[in-house]
Amino acid sequence: MTKLRFDLLLLLLFSIHFAPALSDLIISKLDRRIDLTSQVVRMTLTLKVENTGPDPVSEVFFTFPEHQANNLALLVAISTQGKGKTRGSVTNLPIQAKQPNDSPPSLVWYAASLPKELGKGETLNMEVLAVFTHALRPFPEKITQAEPQLFLFQDSAHFTSPYGVKFQSLTVKLPSENVESYTKTENSKFSGSEIKYGPYENLPALSYLPVVVHFPSNKPFAIAKELVREIEISHWGNVQVTEHYNLIHGGAQSTGEFSRLDFQARPHVRGASAFRNLMAMLPPRAHSIYYRDAIGNISTSNIHSDSSKTLLEIEPRYPMFGGWKTSFTIGYGLPLQDYLFQSEGTRFLNITFGSPMIDMIIENLTLKVVLPEGSRDISVSVPFAVKQSQETKFSHLDIAGRPTVVVEKVNVVPEHNQYFQVHYKFSNISLLTEPLMLIFGFFALFVACIIYMHADFTISKSSPSYLAKLQWDEVQGTIQQLQDIINRCLLIHDKLEASLRELSRTGDVQACKAVRKSADSLLKDLSKELKPLLTLLQSSPQAAHILPKVEDLVVKERDLQEKIMLKHTIVVDSYEKKSVGRDTENRVASIQQKISALKQEVDDLLEFVEDI
């Protein structure tokens, strides 16, 4: 309020100093309407301008206090002829900021250029739309889960026009019929959900009468701190739109603990300030719609479509209270033929600029239009001021990359969701690049497979390395055969041991001798098979590093064989002569110890050979 009083003082001083310079124009009638039904504040001016001076006028000035101009997102003006049913042609008037040299910084000036000069005594009907963001201040700034959300709006009952106004009125539209308080003046009236100020007559230039409205509102105050919107064009029939949102609830900050139980039991009382869903109005033929966040797909969404629109209702993972944040992504596809057109060899994309979210403020919008690889002579046409640049995006099967138009704008409101155009040239031959790459890629793969299957990649049979490989293969085969023979010998040893155990159980000496006779014959045959294998290893230079271990294995196996035969002979003789005594048992025990040690040594050597 202190700043407003200071601005008022500056305005009064400036009006005294600057009023004669703009005395040629007067406003015969000015009707102003301010819409506070959402977080986006819309001010609509309907005015009639009259030139009372001798010189023609080509510009009409509009002024806003600095605190309002800082939040001004959009300012458009049109000139009209007639009213109501007799209303004639409408002309859009270009507007630009045009600050006089001796104007105080607390007042921001905008000039609307007229289609033709306004002569002496002539009048002009105009309509002006000013859209503001962050014009509503939560008061109190912090509330609990159960408290209602209240906002303050500050303005002037008199529009701060640089011209004198003969007749003026103001209407403030509220979200509901409830109001905490508002500034009351002589000509103020509260009816339904509207507060009316005026009419006021014969107001001087830059007249200012501050008013404050304090009212409840539980509308979604969804503010996108950042939105990255990517539109990717595929000449194969699709326009893919992907939107990444970083969202915050811009209302009164929530304090205290959040109770999920209270919220679910009475959401309209214990969570009235929170919003639970958002609505996005997508084009009518949108398809392949998805809604996800960093965790994954979010299933709490609904789609309602008809011939004119596709309405997407999304619900965050948790209710959004004041100050709470969330991030998510929505994406959808569009038919190419509805948005891409061609004229005189140039293609152009015609699509909307802003977000499809209803009544959302976007503080920073980055719009990327990804064109097909090979696009050239790129230009962008946007109906308002933006920052433009270009970059390159690489995707699958790209060589030089896809040219990408980057458009940036701050303070974006739903009124910015207008059509813009991206013009570029593209050769139809470039469409064949990726299919040809796939064809030649698969062709090269099949050719490589055919060559691999039919080519001989073996080393020359006369080379030393090939001969060495053959010799080593032969050594490995020989060692394998030798290992098999040793294992067969060990099996025979086990049978002899088993025959002795059977002898101690049954006393059948003849059966034991039969097993011994069979074992002698088999071991003799295996010994004959073993000799040529040892000879081959001894003659091969490739076996030099392993030959000592192999020879040691053969010697140990023979020692083991001799000890087992000796044990077998002693036990059978003692049973046959029926002279089993302590002396025989001691001799057998001594031999058994040697047998156990030899078995362990043979097993270790066999393990070493197996590793080779």
Please report, rounded to a whole number, the percentage of residues in the chain having pLDDT higher than 70.
Answer: 93
- For residues 421 and 340, the answer to whether their CB atoms sit within 8 Å is no
**Does residue 481 register a pLDDT over 90?**
no
**Does residue 8 register a pLDDT over 60?**
no
- For residues 332 and 363, the answer to whether their CB atoms sit within 8 Å is no
pLDDT band at 459 (very low <50, low <70, confident <90, very high): low
Q: Please state, rounded to an integer, the average pLDDT across all residues of the chain.
A: 86
Q: What is the dihedral of CA 519, 523, 526, 527, to 10 degrees?
A: -170
What are the distances in angstroms from CA 381 to CA 2, 246, 247, 377? 43, 27, 28, 13
Average pLDDT over residues 240-253: 94
Q: In one letter, which amino acid is 393?
A: K
Average pLDDT over residues 354-377: 92
Tell me how far apart the alpha carbons of residues 603 and 468 are, in angstroms, rounded to a whole number. 30
Average pLDDT over residues 359-366: 94
pLDDT tens digits, one per residue of 15-33? 444 444 455 899 999 999 9
What is the bridge-based pairing of β-strands 340-343 and 419-425? Answer: unpaired
pLDDT the model gives residue 452:
86
pLDDT the model gives residue 428:
77
**Does residue 86 register a pLDDT over 70?**
no
What are the distances in angstroms from CA 243 to CA 18, 227, 277, 328? 48, 7, 17, 8
Q: In one letter, which amino acid is 531?
A: K
- For residues 106 and 13, the answer to whether their CB atoms sit within 8 Å is no
Average pLDDT over residues 481-491: 87
**Does residue 187 register a pLDDT over 70?**
yes
pLDDT the model gives residue 80:
84
Which has more confidence, 49 or 598?
49
User: Whole-model pTM?
Assistant: 0.69
Q: Which of 208, 163, 202 is nearest to 183 (CA)?
A: 208
pLDDT tens digits, one per residue of 265-322? 777 767 778 888 899 999 989 999 999 998 888 878 888 888 888 999 998 888 888 8
pLDDT tens digits, one per residue of 105-114? 888 999 999 9
Average pLDDT over residues 365-376: 93
**Does residue 211 register a pLDDT over 80?**
yes
Which has more confidence, 272 or 412?
412
Number of Cβ within a 10 Å radius of residue 373? 20
Upper half-sphere CA count for residue 497 (Cβ side, 13 Å) = 16
pLDDT tens digits, one per residue of 529-550? 888 888 888 888 877 788 888 8
**Does residue 374 register a pLDDT over 70?**
yes
pLDDT the model gives residue 612:
66
Upper half-sphere CA count for residue 249 (Cβ side, 13 Å) = 26
**Does residue 3 register a pLDDT over 70?**
no
pLDDT the model gives residue 5:
46
pLDDT band at 83 (very low <50, low <70, confident <90, very high): low
pLDDT tens digits, one per residue of 389-403? 999 988 877 778 889
pLDDT the model gives residue 561:
85
Q: Which of 455, 419, 413 is nearest to 35 (CA)?
A: 413
Please name every residue paired with 314 in a beta bridge, in sequence order, or none if there are none: 278, 301
pLDDT the model gives residue 550:
83
